[in-house]
Amino acid sequence: MSEINGKVVIITGASSGLGEATAHRLAKAGAKLVLGARREERLEALRDAIVEQGGEAIYRVTDVTDRDQVEALATAAKEAYGRIDVLVNNAGVMPLSPLDQLKVDEWEQMIDVNIKGVLYGVAAVLPTMREQHAGHIINLSSVAGHVVFPASAVYSATKYAVKALSEGIRQEGGEEIRSTNISPGAVATELTTSISDPDTAENVNELYEMAIDADAIARAITYAIEQPADVDVNELIIRPTKQPL
Ligand SMILES: NC(=O)c1ccc[n+]([C@@H]2O[C@H](COP(=O)([O-])OP(=O)(O)OC[C@H]3O[C@@H](n4cnc5c(N)ncnc54)[C@H](OP(=O)(O)O)[C@@H]3O)[C@@H](O)[C@H]2O)c1
């Protein structure tokens, strides 16, 4: 029987892209899913699709920039399934632009979603995982959390922060809490639609012509979760084979 079977997994940003693909894959492996994002109609459709295929899932509309809503997502998991085995801290935005454009609102949005949202997730599940003496936090960083390129400064800063947090969780988690930092390269999702600068959007769309399917990352997340409890997969970088960056 898979190590995933029966595990209670919270996924933020489950309404599209990597989160949605991961939900489908984990549901097939027998996980009990707790889906969070802002777009309710997407979450409802995903929940229905999973249940129709014999899986288990609930959803709760969640804006990760609101700590109370993230706490409520964790509470919903415990009320429905009694425990929290895994948090996939996946919600993220990527409005890339050169610093000179001073898109300060977008900088703040990236900090709020990509860093504070991840922290709120950690705060919402850590006490429960400590009580259980077991848990697994999976954070979505990026190749941009390993290298910086023009227009990526703020996004990269948030993804470097995620990488640092993953390492901190690993060290402080000790024998109880597993920590996985996932760093995708170009993956075909809705992520690039948040780029408001036309020149940057054009460059990124060119790079994304080589983008791989979201299921590639879902498989990586599945691999990390399905390892036995004494195996902690800490770092995975998954690029399109063609990606030079
Ligand atoms: N695609 C790539 O090439 C790539 C590469 C490296 C890293 N990543 C990372 O992978 C993660 C998933 O991105 P994706 O590629 O799957 O993009 P996506 O299709 O745009 O999905 C992003 C998800 O985040 C959610 N989200 C955005 N703001 C939110 C908020 N304030 N509260 C709650 N949920 C929020 C969105 O749902 P709602 O709009 O419904 O809230 C959506 O479900 C991100 O952290 C991203 O940085 C992606």
- The answer to whether residue 141 scores a pLDDT higher than 70 is yes
Per-residue pLDDT band at 144 (split at 50, 70, 90): very high
What number of CA atoms fall less than 13 Å from residue 60's CA on the CB side? 21
Q: What are the chain's domains?
A: 8-229 (3.40.50.720)
- The answer to whether residue 1 scores a pLDDT higher than 80 is no
Per-residue pLDDT band at 2 (split at 50, 70, 90): confident
- The answer to whether residue 225 scores a pLDDT higher than 70 is yes
Phi and psi dihedrals of 218, rounded to 5?
-60, -40
For ligand 1, whether the C-beta of 92 sits within 6 Å is yes
> Do 84 and 138 form a contact (C-beta atoms < 8 A)?
no
Average pLDDT over residues 125-152: 98
Atom of ligand 1 nearest to the CA of 140: 45
Average pLDDT over residues 166-180: 97
Separation in Å, CA 40 to CA 15, 68, 79:
8, 17, 20
| Whole-angstrom distance, CA of residue 197 vs CA of residue 60 | 32
The pLDDT, as a whole number, for residue 135 is: 98
**Residue in 155, 150, 151, 124 with CA at minimum distance from that of residue 137:** 124
**Residue in 152, 184, 181, 149 with CA at minimum distance from that of residue 168:** 181
Instruction: Using the mean position of ligand 1's atoms as its centre, give its distance from the Cα of residue 90 in Å.
Output: 6
> Which residues are known catalytic residues?
155
Separation in Å, CA 77 to CA 10, 83, 123, 150:
7, 7, 14, 40
Q: Where are the alpha helices (DSSP H) in 33-110?
A: 40-52, 67-81, 104-110
- The answer to whether residue 186 scores a pLDDT higher than 70 is yes
Atom of ligand 1 nearest to the CA of 63: 32
Percent of the chain surpassing pLDDT 70 = 100
Ligand 1: which residue has its CA nearest to atom 43? 13
- The answer to whether residue 180 scores a pLDDT higher than 90 is yes
- DSSP, residue by residue, 201-231: HHHHHHHGGGPBPTHHHHHHHHHHHHS-TT-
Separation in Å, CA 222 to CA 24, 31, 93, 219:
11, 10, 23, 5
Phi and psi dihedrals of 111, rounded to 5?
-65, -40
- The answer to whether residue 221 scores a pLDDT higher than 80 is yes
